[in-house]
Amino acid sequence: MTNIEINIEDLKHVYNYVTEAIIVSDETNKVVLMNNAALEKFEIDEDEAILKNVEEFLPLDEREIILKTIQNNDSSYYDVMLKTAKSKLFPAFVSGQVLKYQNKDYSILTIVDVSDLKNKEKEQLKKLKSHIISQATTHAEKTSKLKGKETTELVLMKDQIEEMKEAVESIKHENFMLERKVTLFERENKVLNTQSEKIQEDAFSFEQVLDREMALAKRYDRKFSLAIIAIDNFKDLTEKLKTEAKRDLVVKAFKKHFRSTVRTTDVIYYENSGLFYLILPNSSDVNITDLVDRLLHAKKIDTTIIVRFHCGLAHYYENDTRDHLLYRAKKSLEVNIEKSLSIQSR
């Protein structure tokens, strides 16, 4: 597992390709990076922005809950009003996450400007209100003039009801467009999460990430688990696949399967010996037994090769060392392999 060194400037280069505003702050909430979109949106120079407190870019009433959400790696987003350096207000969707880098936690704040969407929504509501008032007034006038002409009045009321139905359909369409905007925002946020995970995976070794998670568990009294998944008969499988290229494709397929099964906050590493290491933060929030069962589903490569897996699992306890945790996970894996072989031999 190679440890590739990156720095803040590398992150800045990555985030400058993102169209939404990105603010990165350190553990003391001091801003260490703002991408070009964020500098433009907040109308601020980079020299002035760096080392400001990230709280200065958030509304007073929402600061605490937004920062807490980021620290918990919660995928929630908030609909807030933000202010530029020139005191201009604009509506935005705000979400965040934590990036672990060089023994420090960095908070990544993602900001999507929804000014156009909000203005359009207000305009549609204004038009609908005006339309309803106009129709109600027209209806009242016609009703007073057409007393006794019940048939004509009913026809007019029917027309007005149809018009109001059309107006309601228009509002439904606008709501659909708003939901679509939110979906696109969540999709882009997911891409950003994937980019951050790729940066983290390339920049840190498995041992570094495991040590970091143990440090966080001790500091914040959090629970996490370590799972080791072994490919059954790995040696036979590599001989059947013959070429290194085929073996790499199969390993990538397995890793994609595991990634689609676990949460976005879980970390996966692979060793060439056929072992996958899964670090599962906040494991008390998830049914680990059910998760492991889903991970161990057999995978069919072609008509002749079916791959099965074994799993060893260890939970972190206070005062654990890395070696203690790895030993228990590997011991659990050995026991499960022996049980599987015993069942097969019957």
Residue 193 resides in a domain: no
> Count of domains in the chain?
3
pTM: 0.43
| Same domain assignment for residues 29 and 105 | yes
pLDDT tier at 2, thresholds 50, 70, 90: very low
Q: Could you tell me which residues come within 8 angstroms of residue 227 by beta carbon, excluding any fewer than 6 positions away?
A: 277, 278, 280, 292, 295, 311, 312, 313, 329
| Same domain assignment for residues 38 and 128 | no
CATH of the domain at 240: 3.30.70.270
Reply yes or no on whether the pLDDT at 194 is more than 60: no
Residue bearing tokens 């010996």: 273
- Across the chain, what does the average pLDDT equal? 81
Residue bearing tokens 């260890």: 314
Q: Quick: pLDDT tens for 9-63.
A: 777 788 888 888 898 888 888 998 898 988 988 899 888 888 788 888 888 887 8
| Same domain assignment for residues 137 and 218 | no
pLDDT at 276: 92
CATH of the domain at 59: 3.30.450.20
pLDDT at 4: 41
Residue 192 resides in a domain: no
DSSP string, 40-69: HHTT--HHHHTTSBGGGGS-GGGHHHHHHH
Residue 289's domain comprises 206-345
| Same domain assignment for residues 171 and 63 | no
- What's the alpha-carbon Rg for the chain, to the nearest Å? 28
Confirm if 276 and 254 have CB atoms less than 8 A apart: yes
Q: Quick: pLDDT tens for 68-83.
A: 877 777 767 788 888 8
Q: Mean pLDDT lowest for which of 96-110, 210-224, 325-339?
A: 96-110
- Please say which residue of 92, 114, 136 terminates a domain: 114
| Same domain assignment for residues 231 and 159 | no
